[in-house]
Structure 1
Amino acid sequence: MQWKSTCLPVAMACAGLLAGAMALPAAETHANLQSVTTNGTSAWSGTFPFTIRGVLLTDPEEMLNPTPNFIPYDPAYQGPTRMGGEWQIVFQAVEPGDRGGTTCWLGQNYGNLPWVRDSELSYTNAAWVAEVLRLSHDPETGRKFRKGDLIEVTVRRSLFYGGKRNINEAHDLSPDANFEVRLVTPDYGLPAPETVTLAQVKRVDDGNPATHEDIFEVTRQSGGEYYQGMRVRLVNLQLVNDPALTNSLGSRYYGTNGWNPNAVWSQRLCTVTDGEGRYFTLRMPRYSVGPMPAGRFDAIGVFTQESGSGTDGRMGYELFVQEIQPHTAPGLAIGQAVWVGWAPQGRWQLEWAPRVDAQTWTPVTNAPVVYGGMNILLEAPQGAQRFYRLRPANE
């Protein structure tokens, strides 16, 4: 009896450890992960690790430049953080009842961040390349991820910044900070873009450069939060190239210089308007979407947020552009034509020749249409005179 009483707790403990080792991360939703407070900061209170699914809206290289560029920390350097290579994707909810989307981000030179300041905490170029390859390819098949794939991300770290909660490594190189991406369904298909007007996400500019006209709503049922992380079509836009707008938009006026796929992330910005006093920011991709439209156009892409703040997420909505659709109608071609008509009686072959007394006549192969009780055939205008005749089709 003593043997049983001493070993039973040990057996139960072993069973408990086995069950714990087999436990899978809980599934999370985009709507819950991106929930916000009244100040637009993160209201998420979940636990790690977790998994989250969605359809990939971006190819791995189209947002940020992943080219390795290790730069050691320099205490004398006073400029913006030199992050080197960067990697970023956005994926959108597909599960019933879920809504929104989430960004995954990775940077090379964490050691150059002002609160880190340690080159040992940055990726070497070789280590960075390995990380980018790991996250850009399915670990089971080796297939490179591309927009339209259904993916699942296993998450161990996440930080809020700029108005949204990102999946990342929390600036930590250790393996237990890694997130993983795996392929669920290749070529699952991009979601149809939701149509959005500027009036749904922006107020009319009040002329004060210190204020923001972004429409923020804490329940995320309207305004910019309703579309954050999703594929949308922003309609009826015009590019703005008016430096005088700096008087009302301040540093948020970007003009059209950002229409350049070769510029860095912070410079690929353009200002658009609906012509009714509302202004919005487009961020261009790392590939050409064509020439700047002269008139009205729609822009299709990912609705996202870059407030530039870790404490205020109520502004900074923008569109990461993937496609431009100008409103310019296709040109009309108007020209003269010759029409030939005859009664639809019997079977006849229409022929033409350059002279009425020609020995050789050429069959007209275009099929006629019946109009007004006649066979009518349109012939394109010719530079030389033509004569037409009907010949019985059985000759």
Structure 2
Amino acid sequence: MMRTRPLKVALLGCGVVGSEVARIMTTHADDLAARIGAPVELAGVAVRRPDRVRAGIDPALVTTDATALVKRGDIDVVIEVIGGIEPARTLITTAFEHGASVVSANKALLAQDGAALHAAAAEQGRDLYYEAAVAGAIPLIRPLRESLAGDKVNRVLGIVNGTTNFILDKMDSTGAGYQEALDEATALGYAEADPTADVEGFDAAAKAAILAGIAFHTRVRLDDVHREGMTEVTAADFASARGMGCTIKLLAICERAVDGASVTARVHPAMIPLSHPLANVRGAYNAVFVESDAAGQLMFYGPGAGGAPTASAVLGDLVAVCRNKLGGAHGFGESAYAALPVSSMGEVVTRYHISLDVADKPGVLAQVATVFAEHGVSIDTVRQQGKDGEASLVVVTHRASDAALQGTVEALRTLDTVRGVASIMRVEGE
């Protein structure tokens, strides 16, 4: 039997995502009520610019006083889609204090202060759900937190930013340079006017922190994630990748050490074999590859951003939180019992592709090989091309620690025969 008194929802933010949340709440009202067991009512919408026309939203619901809205006391659920650290953090904790559970899409805040927000929710007996914070519409957080709760996750490897994937895919498929591909992404609306958060890996790093924390039951903050952007990736890098049967993706990689005693989280461009499922993720799509003991290899794929896809994840959380409210129950809170240390990037072990500009004369290869050997980095393959006294030397290594590789590169730069280190790229997914 359905409860007739509606559950009241406050919406903080009514931009691309918030407006889609409001639209779906209206157009799918009957279905949502049937799935929840009670109707849901949009009780207020907090915005910065109240004069803007918002189709389908009663102007009487619109307010600029978000604090007053979350303090009303009759709000059951607050949906936060304004982003950023403040005022979002204060509004969420205030909502908990005044009786509301929270659904958020705020990856930056959760990566920085997720532990404190979970603690605040637990203290007040509220729910904090955030499926939409990572990979848009793709169900990912709930499978990691619930479906794989009985398994041991060892690695999460993914493309979690659609803008960067579009740019790299365009460079790969058309031969375009970075700036040309970025300009097209901007013209099509995939890239912001200031794309720094995407192309420098900040967005992906926040998502990696969230995923690592859930997968490994360990607190991982944004500061724990090693981050490198993709602005230095060139057409020459793609040519080298194709020669190895690879392509290049900006990857978020969260993994448990072989001995299980620590974890790492990192974001950087990497070459991956064309045979790997992530290599065929095209355009602005996202995909995440999960490896666990019992389930083996799983892949989650779909649109990782956009108003309607992200709103889909928000509404899924809304249904879950409302069901909990009606049943007098609470969903999953933070699981950080493992408390594993987060290792530095220097301890990460992988393969590397290094491109060197060297003098085209006898003995250069022997000098370079000696430097690699002195730092304990084993060479897998070498390719050399020379012309008019200049040469390009491409070295692909066996697995080695990042610290050993960095030491190797520093030593190479001291050689008179090495004119420069053109690029260094990790090779993943093998």
The answer to whether the superposition gives a TM-score over 0.5 is no
- The higher-RCO structure (CA 8 Å, 6+ apart) is 2
Larger-gyration structure (1/2): 1
Structure-1-length-normalised TM-score: 0.24
**Structure whose residues are more often helix by fraction:** 2
State TM-score, norm by structure 2.
0.23
